[in-house]
Amino acid sequence: MIKSLRLAASALVLTAAMAGVAAAQAPTKADVFTAKDMASLDRLSDPRVSPDGRHVLYSVRTMDYPANKASMSLWLADLKTKMAPRRLKVSDGGAASGRWSADGKTIYFTSSRAGGTEQVFKTDVTGETATQVTATPFDVQAYKVAPNGKTIVVAMAVFPDCPDLACTEARLAAKTATKATGVVYDRLFVRHWDTWKDGTRNHLFAYSLDADGVAAGQPVALMKGFDGDSPTKPFGGDEDFVITPEQDGVAFAAKRAGREEAWSTNFDFWVAKFDGSEPLNNRTEANKAWDSAPTPSPDGKYAAYRAMSRPGFEADRFRIMIRDRATKQDRELAPQWDRSADAVAWSPDGKTIYATALDVGQGKLFAIDVKTGKVTALTGEGHVTAFDVGPNGIVYASDSLKSPSELFFLPPKGPAVKVASVSSKALKNVAWGEPEQFSFKGWNDETVHGFLVKPANFDPAKKYPVAFLIHGGPQGSFSNAWSYRWNPQVYANAGYAVVMIDFHGSTGYGQAFTDSISRHWGDRPLEDLQKGWSFVLSKYGFLDGDRACALGASYGGYMVNWIAGNWNQPWKCLVNHDGIFDTRAMGYSTEELWFTEWENGGPPWQAGTTYETFNPAHHVDKWVKPTLVIQGQLDYRVPVEQGLATFNALQRRGVPSKLLYFPNENHWVLKAQNSVQWHKEVLDWLDQWTGNTRPGK
């Protein structure tokens, strides 16, 4: 008996020793990347090259996770010496929107360090001390300084019928003083994105700068009485206006609201003089579709702007237009290039236009010859999020499915060189799920693309549950890009394979492909998703088709509801974030009516529309799959009643379901701790119904 115990003990020691050797020989598995890790990352954005091309200024957003609060700072990288980037000391008081003066000696930025309102400050390249430039009564939302240093243009929210800023101050004070809370509206918008309208508009004002470069005297209202916003709401910035080459005025993008604001996409660009000597001039009045703010050429002879063709369609192709400023004649640059341009900029010699655009799942930077229209891609895989053109090359920020934004310098000749990364240290030991792009024949036998992301620490001998992600828009794309809201790597690190399909309607595959979803929300995209699901199951043997859940937000949430009643067989569970339940009710309750009216062929009362053709509410009798519903109270795009109706229907039918409700979030979940809670609830739901055991849980 004793001998047997000794032998057993010896065997245990030997086994332990062998296990230790095996453990030493086996590769160490990388760290699990969690939602909290993602929410805590620093974020790089907004690169700006100095006029001499030596430095690049950029912003970094840093999250204090316990406080659930972010702060902004400015950083400077030296492109000549290639020294490590440095944080400017003026960032200690908070600093964002860094911009160079024309001579490169001054850096302007915004901060709320003085009195709580957002104001413009300035510093030099050392970034040690700050001087206040503006002292406006309201937040400066965006600004631009004239190259000659004599004028600064700032955007503030004011009452458009007020003759001066004092009038807006008095009116706001009167609102605060009264105990009555009722608000009267006589036209739309009543609310937009996540904010109820209060009667103010974003307007531009010009201040003269004194010898010390400080705003002096009373501002000139550049949009006096204008019924519209610049910067545009809800996401506009300083890209919506530009100082004219003569430096005597500003050109800005805006939509004159009137009673049609909620169903019109007729943005134009307008010109106003700094001294108010001329009335506002609408320079694109002939085009009733969307026009953006112009970008003057270096010699001032031309201006490039982006323009859509079809009124009422927010996902039309943005063409690049070149205007001869002397003759006022326009021509389209590269009309055969079937991509929708995002940001545009001129080369220093005026011979090239640079533009970003989605292209078959990648977000590329392109060079377009102004004379011939020849288009050349300057970047390949990944997603260029921002860029700035300097005298010696281009600095751009780019991310991918495996990396947040990093900063690169692209010289005229030679490959791009990494300039800065704010997350590489935090992510150096992370296990990335490897992405792979695929294609198959979808609706109408046309090619459809998608991405598969393998589980982190992938083992080809194993079968994995699947997170089938459906993008919103619907004119959008997951693409080879990083996301802080729907990031495939969080699912991959939780033990899931991730499948994402760019169904008909997605962007980056030509305008006809994008157009094909309008009035076809429930048939063509569904066919692509079905064929794509069959394709990936046949191609990737490690996918466990019996343990899969479908998830989506916005249009993706609509499609989850549509799937629940029209294609629920493959799924163990569903997740619907801010998705549409009743398309007809959506047509009456959403804020941007141009969206639902274009997508369905007219307003809800009009004959021949598709509100009822593809209405998920008509198929609730077939809802059987466990569903997690997520809804933000401040979502005015897909109002809260849509999420509540979805949950009500599920509960009434007895379908296993949960409602995750955020009283302080809009169409997106933006607050760090809310984001972590969101991911926990979603992953717990997937684990529950797929039987997944999450790594590190």
* H/E segment holding residue 587: helix 583-589
Convert 540-550 to b/e letters by CB count within 10 Å (16 or more is b). bebbbeebbbb
Helix (H), strand (E), coil (C) string for 41-96: CCEEEEEEECCCCCEEEEEEEEEECCCCEEEEEEEEEECCCCCCCEECHHHHHCCE
Distances in Å between the Cα of 505 and the Cα atoms of 36, 515, 517, 586 are 32, 6, 5, 20
Q: Extract long-range pairs of 236-240: CB within 8 Å, 24+ residues apart.
A: 236/142, 236/202, 237/141, 237/142, 238/97, 238/142, 238/143, 238/144, 238/155, 239/293, 239/343, 240/142, 240/292, 240/293
* H/E segment holding residue 22: helix 2-25
Q: Catalytic pick from 667, 675, 679, 687?
A: 667
Which residues make Cβ contacts (< 8 Å) with residue 309, sequence separation at least 6? 287, 289, 316, 317, 319
Structure tokens at 329: 């004649």
Q: Which amino acid is at 580?
A: I
Place of tokens 């997944």: 692
Q: For 48, what's the count of Cα atoms within 13 Å in the CB-facing half-sphere?
A: 22
* H/E segment holding residue 649: helix 640-653
Query: At 62, phi and psi to the nearest 5?
Result: -115, 130
Reply yes or no on whether 383 is catalytic.
Answer: no
Contact in structure between 314 and 334 (CB atoms under 8 Å): no
Looking only at the bridges linking them, the beta strands covering 627-632 and 657-662 are parallel
Distance of CA 598 to the CA centre of its chain: 22
Using left for φ > 0, alpha for ψ between -120 and 50, and beta otherwise, residue 327 falls in alpha
d(CA 248, CA 146): 9
Helix (H, G, I), strand (E, B) or coil at 491: helix
Structure tokens at 88: 């400017």
Reply yes or no on whether 516 is catalytic.
Answer: no
Cα-Cα end-to-end distance for the chain: 42
Helix (H, G, I), strand (E, B) or coil at 515: helix
Distances in Å between the Cα of 134 and the Cα atoms of 115, 182, 216 are 12, 34, 8
Structure tokens at 697: 């849980």
The residue length of the chain stands at 697
Contact in structure between 203 and 226 (CB atoms under 8 Å): yes
Q: Catalytic pick from 388, 528, 544, 635?
A: 635
Looking only at the bridges linking them, the beta strands covering 107-111 and 119-123 are antiparallel
Distances in Å between the Cα of 275 and the Cα atoms of 210, 427, 534, 629 are 16, 52, 65, 54
Q: Catalytic pick from 73, 554, 657, 675?
A: 554
**Any bridge partners for residue 254, and if so which?**
268
Looking only at the bridges linking them, the beta strands covering 543-553 and 464-470 are parallel
In 3D space, the residue among 57, 61, 162, 161 whose CA is nearest the CA of residue 101 turns out to be: 57
Write the DSSP symbol of residue 517.
T
Reply yes or no on whether 520 is catalytic.
Answer: no
- Active-site positions read 554, 635, 667
